[in-house]
Amino acid sequence: MIIALQWVYDPVALAALIAAGYDEQQVQGGGPAWVNILRDDQRLPLLADVERYCFEVGGATVGTYRVVPTRASDDATDTPVTITAAAPWGYCTVADVRAEGYAALAYPDDRVQDAIAQATANIEAACGQRFAPHRRRVTLDVSSGVDEIFLDEPCCALWQVWDGEDTSVDRADLYLYNRHLTEGWGAPDDRGNPRVALRSGSYDPLSWWTSGRRQLLLDGVWGYTELDGAPGETSRGSQVPLSYGVTPAAIRRACLLLTVNLLATLADGGGTPDVSARVISETTRDQSYTLQPLPTAAIGYGATGNATVDGLLRPFHAPLRMGVI
């Protein structure tokens, strides 16, 4: 099971840590006998202006977690930070399913969580992207003369950027199109055309970008999310939003519909596809209906097999990807 963690630093406390030279974070689990989850070379960065962090760990159950600010130069540590959110990765919750009337006696928590995980995976496979904030490091090829790069998934915030020679790049030299979070823009919607651009006047500091084919490494928070509060940045010009957003309501609904369809066992009729969109005639008194035939070669129907869910997911497919081999 994948467990999603999120935690937030107080801005004043974060500034004090940065001033004292703290630049890394250790993620620990299993309290009170805390154990480092990451190796020393996998520690998360601790960065100015980045108050909110997220990370994913594996485990059989959700446990207790904390984060320890660390100074790389001497391995000194500071007061641990409490994990504010730890939950199984999924676009709806067991509580959501219970609210729809699916009692624990008939559908135990473990079975519901397994169904949520499968429904979430089906949605991600159908849409080609994820719908909750997650940390990701992406390596992109950049050609000479290019000043704008298109991404395969919306980026909520950049933490760190490097060129192909492991040289750190100032985030201020790049413009990240995440205005739905920082400015509340809905039209144009940057999530439908995710990209990062070189700021005007930054060609000299980033001469590597215009001198042949190189690599660009982006480390940050990604995901197609929906603003859940007031838009804004942690500081003027940081491009780091106050919130990374939440799973869109339509995606949560789609996940819930798929989940409840997966709860029934095969013996109880589980796995029966939703054919409502193919009904072309119906006789209610005799409880009969006629379906529009599928093409002979068809082996399935829709992206998920559920016409209602397919309709909900239609606006959320990832941007078209093209390439040359």
The CATH code of domain 2-88 reads 2.60.40
pLDDT (0 to 100) of residue 205 = 44
pLDDT (0 to 100) of residue 181 = 96
Q: Is 199 exposed, middle or buried (0-12, 13-18, 19+ CB in 10 A)?
A: middle
**DSSP 8-state class, residue 267:** G
d(CA 206, CA 117): 42
pLDDT (0 to 100) of residue 170 = 87
Residue 99 sits at the vertex; the CA angle it makes with 97 and 306, to the nearest 5 degrees, is 45
- Domain extents in the chain: 2-88, 94-130+249-316, 134-222
- The secondary structure of 179-203 as a DSSP string is HHHHT---SS-GGGS-EEEEPTT-T
pLDDT (0 to 100) of residue 274 = 58
pLDDT (0 to 100) of residue 207 = 53
pLDDT (0 to 100) of residue 202 = 55
In this prediction, the residues of the chain whose per-residue pLDDT falls under 50 are 205, 296-300
Task: Say if CB 250 and CB 314 are below 8 A apart.
Answer: no
153-192 pLDDT tens trace: 999 999 999 887 677 888 888 899 999 999 998 888 999 9
The strand ranges marked E within 23-111 are: 24-29, 35-36, 44-45, 52-58, 65-71, 76-77, 81-82, 85-88
255-303 pLDDT tens trace: 999 999 999 876 665 555 555 655 666 777 767 777 666 554 444 456 7
pLDDT (0 to 100) of residue 287 = 73
